[in-house]
Amino acid sequence: MARLLSRFVFCQLRASRVKYAFVSGIRSFSSNVSNSNRAITAKPPSGLQKEMAMGIQKAMQLFVRYGIGASRLKEIGNDKNKSPETLVNRWQKMMEIFVSVQIHVLTGLGYSPDQNGITLYNQHMLNLRQTMDPTDEEKLRLLSRDIWRETLTFAFNIPIESIENNQLSIVDARNIMYKVSQKMQDPQILETVAKRISSILESDSKATDMQKRHTIVQEVLVHDVYLGGDPSFLSDCGFPDGELGYVLMQCTLADHQQDPLISQYLTGSMMKILQVAGIDMQMLNPASN
């Protein structure tokens, strides 16, 4: 759960994007699959080997760099109507594409094209990392980092040099994430979430209503936690104001997402804000049921 929540914050509601990315991802990458192939029931692997993990990451990098994923990401980056008000929507679109690519790669190995499949893959990857030697683990980490960086550079039209020039030490990353966790649990932030959630008009679709809650949480995190304040929280942490600073911070902090202390900070703060939003934690991690 800590790992899921950690990624949840760094990628801005990764669990949320999974829920609505499945449909768009399967439609985008599997529309030409024959009916006979759809009928095939594949079993996921019992675990991952080093070569499999590296292969998955390289396949994802191929699609992000050269495939349909790349063209769709660049469409977001070239959007002429970009503004702070559309940042959350563009981030969500980016994450839909990212997860669609991941689903496309994982289904080829037998993982189910849904949240359970990704959860199982994440567990397999965690198990593998615990047995890898430091050299191989670092290679895998760097490959994963590069994929995330390329995704952001395409989607937000940011030079890779800007990302490379805004790196954080583990000490600085911990200090910043401590500040983030404290800001997220600020009574004013929690009150803002609660008020906006109370204004939701419930529908007949539980999934739709849950997505509305996710979006509200994300909008509050972006606009009230990171971009808000005078001076802004971003500038207080040494990053540029606005969209550029937000993207750079998310990218650099993601480099340290495996750190136990950072995960601890994030777990407590995210649990609190999700609880206020009325988001069922079991829905974020159905494989644990």
DSSP classification of residue 222: I
Q: b vs e for 117-154, b when ≥16 Cβ sit within 10 Å of the residue's Cβ?
A: bbbbbeebbeebeeeeeeeebeebbebbeebbbbbbbb
> Residue 229 burial (CB < 10 Å; 0-12/13-18/19+)?
middle
The predicted pLDDT at position 261 comes to: 93
pLDDT band for position 276 (cuts 50, 70, 90): very high
The model's pLDDT over 154-171, given as tens digits with 9 standing for 90+, comes to 999 999 999 988 889 999
The predicted pLDDT at position 139 comes to: 94
DSSP classification of residue 167: -
Token digits of residue 280: 């069922």
The whole-number average pLDDT for the span 68-75 is: 94
The model's pLDDT over 32-55, given as tens digits with 9 standing for 90+, comes to 444 545 555 678 999 999 999 999
Decide: 73 and 154 in contact? Cβ < 8 Å.
yes
**Cα–Cα distances in Å, from 266 out to 36, 139, 231, 259, 263?**
45, 25, 23, 11, 5
pLDDT surpasses 60 at 207: yes
Nearest alpha carbon to residue 149 among 74, 242, 247 = 247
The model's pLDDT over 81-105, given as tens digits with 9 standing for 90+, comes to 888 889 999 999 999 999 999 999 9
- Within 10 angstroms of residue 190's Cβ, the number of other Cβ atoms is 17
The predicted pLDDT at position 38 comes to: 54
pTM of structure: 0.80
Boundaries of every domain in the chain: 2-288
pLDDT band for position 118 (cuts 50, 70, 90): very high
